[in-house]
Structure 1
Amino acid sequence: MFSVVEAADDLTVGISFQQMNNPYFIVMKEAFVSAVESIGADYIITDAHHDVAKQVSDIEDMIQRGIDILIINPTDTVGVQAAVELAKAKGIVVIAVDADAAGPRDAYISSENYDAGYQAGKFMAEELNGQGRVAILNGIPADGILDRVNGFKDAISGYPDIAIVDNQNGKQERSTAMTVTENMLQANPDLDAIFSVNDTGGLGCYSAILGSGRDTFMVSIDGHPEAIEAVLDGDIFRATVAQFPRDLIRMALGTSLAKYWGAERVPEDIRVPVKLIDTNTAVGFSW
């Protein structure tokens, strides 16, 4: 009889993150390291810093270093296609996590991103009593972000007296999102609410609204610890739709190992449910 550790002691798993300057991805990284070490495999971790050219270069380097499995968290769904194709040409198992990757990847593990956007939009519409002017604080061109925005728009479309009056890219970064939100508030003096596609950008949005003295409120996505605190603290950051990064990465690794070890049937698209967190459910919540 052989153990999982014995089966994995010559295995190297590479993971490429779109960015690491975000507690969400830090939690994901911690879960990844714990899981990989538990099976005795080697690993390589890279941070693309939201630069698709760097991500492609990082992956090329990992391929040269002999990885057997690539888990990719794309900074640009289409932009990483060449790297995915190269990895597959070398016989490497490729799993996309949190955002999809164009090309012949083996599986995609993500949150229910459309549902997250839809839940955020539905909550916002109910908070507005079905009337108002809202804006979208958008992000990178990855499919998960696009799904969130589409879900939000579809939810809002059910309320004819709510208008989406602005849609700008905060790049999912706190400082950029803060500046973008300040500009949106100046351009739209009657803005009632803002939807942010993620909590890191959402926290920049929160700071901008707080500094403006306006009664605009916001809703976001992730479940970031600071976002949970903000939801509990006051009336501006009213809700975040939580993802579960530990579950995502464990499922990505498990799926990749099943594929690598020859499972005949591996699901190609796995979606992890999300949960709306407002003042009623924020106490005690954490990733």
Structure 2
Amino acid sequence: MKQSVFQSALPSVSLRTFARRVAALAFGLSLVAASVSAAQAAPLKIGMTFQELNNPYFVTMQKALNDAAASIGATVVITDAHHDVSKQVSDVEDMLQKKIDILLVNPTDSTGIQSAVTSAKKAGVVVVAVDANANGPVDSFVGSKNYDAGVMACDYLAKSIGGSGEVAILDGIPVVPILERVRGCKAALAKSPGVKLVDVQNGKQERATALTVTENMIQAHPNLKGVFSVNDGGAMGSLSAIESSGKDIKLTSVDGAPEAIAAIQKPNSKFVATSAQFPADQVRIALGIALARKWGANVPKAIPVDVKLIDKSNAKGFSW
């Protein structure tokens, strides 16, 4: 029998024991699914709606889902909402018409997607939210510890500027994961009395917008010493602005994207650390949980997945 990708190493979740149980459960279910799908006229059909696919983080997640589904003989329907909640709701309704068995939802708007989640549950579909939670009757939610990510990144930022100086936050779309990262960052900065948060602006998690916003921050605050970006995509734009300014401004972020890891490793880089997530493992766990629920098991309402701080000391060899 083909080896299941569910055997891939998982990051630690809320408890190490629970992580081992989830991994064992997911692998066992993949074997059962392979046997079941072989006996069925039609394989399991899995739908996943992404808030966006113009982002290597979600592209990595999509590939992991496709590989996992292939290993159990399931088919996959993927949609990209392009951060348009109306499109995402419509995409889910189309998936329900295609008779999906499982819906993995990465909401672009946690509240706006509620009607689609409700429709899916009425149709007897198992619903698991991934990366960001969704309002409504979801069976479970698998996502990073975003508050911890903000704490880690901003603890590091404060230390990297010697515990004293002005810093700014490059904010993003107001969804729960981003809000939690900012909340964690502010909590970390508050522990350093010498660090002063002087600006919070929305870079929309986009490179071009973040570049312009960071330029404005640097101009408005000539003594700026540090910037925290809520994601690596925005951080790369911010890094360009910092480098162009010629100032010694340290930068930290969240994600662990390949280009961020490469930037951190460059000599004298101003990009000093990122709180890395594990997108492939998130979706593997989510699918394992969805399969368990599909076959009648009780599943946890939420599975928080640890993040890992990456700086120059451990960046080499790190990847999603």
Shorter-chain TM-score above 0.5: yes
Q: Looking at both structures, which has the greater relative contact order when contacts are Cα pairs under 8 Å and sequence separation is at least 6? A: 2
Shift, 1:149, TM fit: 0.9
Query: Structure 1, residues 105-136: CA drift from partner, whole Å, max 9, x if none?
Result: 11110111111110011111111222111111
In the alignment, the residues of structure 1 paired with residue 269 and residue 222 of structure 2 have an alpha-carbon distance, to the nearest angstrom, of 19
- What are the superposed Cα offsets for residues 4-41 of structure 1, whole Å, 9 maximum, x if unpaired? 22424431110011111111111111100000111111
The equivalent of 1:193 in structure 2 is 226
Partner Cα separation in structure 1 for residue 219 and residue 113 of structure 2 = 36
Q: Secondary structure, in 3 states, of the residue corresponding to 1:122? A: helix
Name stretches of at least 5 consecutive residues in structure 2 with no aligned partner: 1-30
> SS state of the match for residue 277, structure 1?
strand
Corresponding residue for residue 245 of structure 1: 279
Instruction: Measure how far apart 1:206 and its partner are.
Output: 0.9
- 2:36 corresponds to 1:7: yes
Paired with 1:156 and 1:54, the residues of 2 have a C-alpha distance of 38
Written as runs of structure 1 = structure 2, the 5 A alignment for 1:168-247 is: 168-233=201-266, 234-247=268-281
Picking from 138, 152, 176, the partner of 2:171 is 138
Is the CA contact 1:76–1:140 (under 8 Å) kept in the aligned structure 2?
A: no
* Structure 1, 276-285 or 184-193: larger mean CA deviation: 184-193
* CA deviation after TM superposition for structure 1 residue 220, in Å: 0.4
Contact 2:210 2:238 in 1 (8 A): yes
Structure 1's 3 and 115: CA in aligned 2 closer, same or farther, altered over 3 A? Answer: closer
The alpha-carbon deviation at position 164 of structure 1 amounts to: 1.2
Show the counterpart of 1:90.
123
Paired residues, what number? 285
Q: Deviations over 1:78-126 (max 9, x none)?
A: 2211211121121211111111111111111011111111001111111
The percent of aligned pairs where both chains have the same amino acid is: 55
- Structure 1 equivalent of residue 301 of structure 2: 268
Structure 1 length-normalised TM:
0.96
Inter-partner Cα distance in structure 2 for 1:60 and 1:188: 48
Map of 1:158 onto structure 2: 191
- Residue deviations 1:168-191, cap 9 Å, x none? 111111112112212222222211
Cα contact 1:77–1:141 (8 A) shared by 2: no
TM-score (norm. length: structure 2): 0.86
Partner of 1:61: 94
Q: How does 1:4-83 map to 2 (within 5 A)?
A: 4-8=33-37, 9-83=42-116
Alignment partner, residue 9 of structure 2: none
State the match for 2:17 in structure 1: none
User: 1:257 aligns to what?
Assistant: 291
Work out whether residues 98 and 111 of structure 1, in 8 Å CA contact, stay in contact via their aligned partners in 2. yes
Contact 1:218 1:238 in 2 (8 A): yes
Q: What is aligned with 2:22?
A: none
Q: Deviations over 1:226-283 (max 9, x none)?
A: 10111011331000111111110100100011001111x2011101111111111111
Q: Alpha-carbon deviations, 1:111-168, whole Å to 9, x = none?
A: 1111111001111111122211111111112211111111111111111221111111
